[in-house]
Amino acid sequence: MENTEERSLKRKKRVKRIRKIIFVGFPVTILVLFVICLILIARIGTLKKALAGVRDELNFYLEAQSEREFAENIAAGVVSNAEGVTALASQPETEDNTASGEMTSEKMSDEEVESLLLGDEELYDGFRRVYLTFDDGPSVNTGQILDILKEYNVKATFFVIRKDGRNNEKLYRRIVDEGHTLGMHSNTHEYSVVYKSEEAFKEDTVSLQDFLYLVTGVESKYYRFPGGSSNRVSHIDMKVFASELHDMGIEYYDWNVSAGDAVIPRPDSGTVYSNVISGILNHESSIVLLHDTASKKSTVAALPKIIEYLQSLDDTVILPITDGTRPIQHLTTD
């Protein structure tokens, strides 16, 4: 008898234990799993951001490399340095030239180059023209750059990429509202996407143009190729993309003066300043390549001094790129 009661008691205890597990243990397990999921989702978000940062850095690094190679080519005379317009010099083709590929044409005479560059903005005939251009923005520095330009009453050109978010939209609008030229620098700035094919390039450009139109009401007609038209990253002849842009009624602009602010290790503001000034003093018309990304603090720091120096020269004007501006293009139209 006692045994039966004992068994019954034990069974009751077991049932109670099982109920406890079901009613308490189960929800607790679910809750723990839920919290783990939330942590993992947050972690994935962080990793994605980090990955995007690394990808951006890589793209900008490739770009800096293109710019450096281009500068070295000018120094080595592989490309013409006559006012920075860049027909390949008509030298015998070296192995290097053939391998790098794309640009083969005749060298322009100095007079031709000069007339190309000085045909714009008649109002400023006889003046040395300087076009300050900022690539890769908007960024956390754009507001400060715009403030400096406003303070000195200078108009510049921003070759932007697509960045979503209310803050960025405000910056695109500030660029336009404050009288600067809004240019395009590709939607994604990812070489593998932008230069994948002619169709992909067109899609990327139209997508950015539409985006900017929606945000600012301005249809941008100005373009700067990621890495410049002389980049060596694209596997497709850059002339294909250049002709695509012309079909779309868009003009592209390279540069003949580089601030050298994209190189690693990062230059200090004094180096950026002297790169820009020494470049400008060598040209009658300068399209100056500067960068607007979070890491380019020295560019922002150098900007007031650059402007102050240029404004102290009686024969020099700082202008935004407009329809009347003669483009500087690293590719030649042959």
- Binding-site ranges for Zn ion (CB under 5 A): 63, 135-136, 226
Looking at beta carbons only, is 78 or 262 nearer to Zn ion? 262
Among 290, 327, 283, smallest CA distance to 307 is for 290
Rg (CA), the chain: 29
3-class DSSP state for residue 101?
coil
Packing angle of the helix pair 166-177, 198-216 (nearest 10 deg) = 80
Give the nearest distance from C-beta 259 to Zn ion in angstroms.
13
Looking at beta carbons only, is 117 or 290 nearer to Zn ion? 290
Give the nearest distance from C-beta 157 to Zn ion in angstroms.
14
236 close to 207: Cβ distance less than 8 angstroms = no
Looking at beta carbons only, is 107 or 291 nearer to Zn ion? 291
Q: Where are the beta strands (DSSP E) in 69-172?
A: 128-135, 157-160
Give the nearest distance from C-beta 31 to Zn ion in angstroms.
47
Among 104, 101, 100, 75, smallest CA distance to 89 is for 104
Give the nearest distance from C-beta 228 to Zn ion in angstroms.
9
Give the nearest distance from C-beta 211 to Zn ion in angstroms.
17
Looking at beta carbons only, is 63 or 204 nearer to Zn ion? 63
| Residues sharing a CB contact under 8 Å with residue 223, sequence separation 6 or more, in sequence order | 159, 183, 184, 185, 205, 245, 250, 251, 252, 253
Looking at beta carbons only, is 42 or 264 nearer to Zn ion? 264
